[in-house]
Amino acid sequence: MTSADKERVAKQTAEYLMQLHELRSDRVESIGGQPIYSAFLFPNGYGIGHGPFSSDDELWAEMSLALNQVPEQVLSKLRQRMPTAAPYTFTHGDLTNVNIIVENGNLAGILDWESSAFFPVWWEFTCAGIGLGQDDKEWKDLLRKHLPDHTEARNFWLDFFALRNYPKLNERGLAFLKECGSSLSQKET
């Protein structure tokens, strides 16, 4: 595909997603009030259902289970940065490039709906930043240009996801600890 084709497909995909985001729920949940499945939002529970959740506090309580070793002052700072989840919009949640069907240079379909559910309004933008290989990263970078900007939420999630490996943190996790006025003890390093 040409660059113009890729740009057009990204824009068409985003327009379609915006129509889906008009579908709303009063809870974070799957269709029919069922639990949601997301190893990226709940890294401690791959293949395990979570929720439904009716508030940011309920959502945070479940997410923070993956951070049980993180110091309380760091958890508190991260919770303060968590963006409001409402409205809960219908979200595909797995827009990897192999799930996008293109015909004659235009979007023809989107596959792989098992991760779809009513998620925080910022989740589609956030998980569209999780690249699985170079081609997928390039596709998602292009797609995010056409989605409502939730960069602040994405940064919250990147910090959250980095802290899940505490005390074995990457640069991002260590930087967030430092921002919170915390550090790893000698025993933890």
Instruction: Give tens-digit pLDDT for 33-56.
Output: 999 999 999 987 778 999 999 999
Q: Residue range 156-160: average pLDDT?
A: 97
Using pLDDT thresholds of 50, 70 and 90, give the confidence band for residue 185: low
- pTM greater than 0.95: no
Instruction: Give tens-digit pLDDT for 118-145.
Output: 999 999 999 998 988 999 999 999 999 9
SS3 letters across 9-65: HHHHHHHHHHHHCCCEECCEECHHHCCECCCCCCCCCCCCCECCECCHHHHHHHHHH
Give the span between the Cα atoms of 46 and 37, in whole angstroms.
7
Domain 3-179 in CATH: superfamily? Aminoglycoside phosphotransferase (APH), C-terminal lobe (3.90.1200.10)
Q: Where are the domains of the chain?
A: 3-179
- Residue 188: what pLDDT? 58
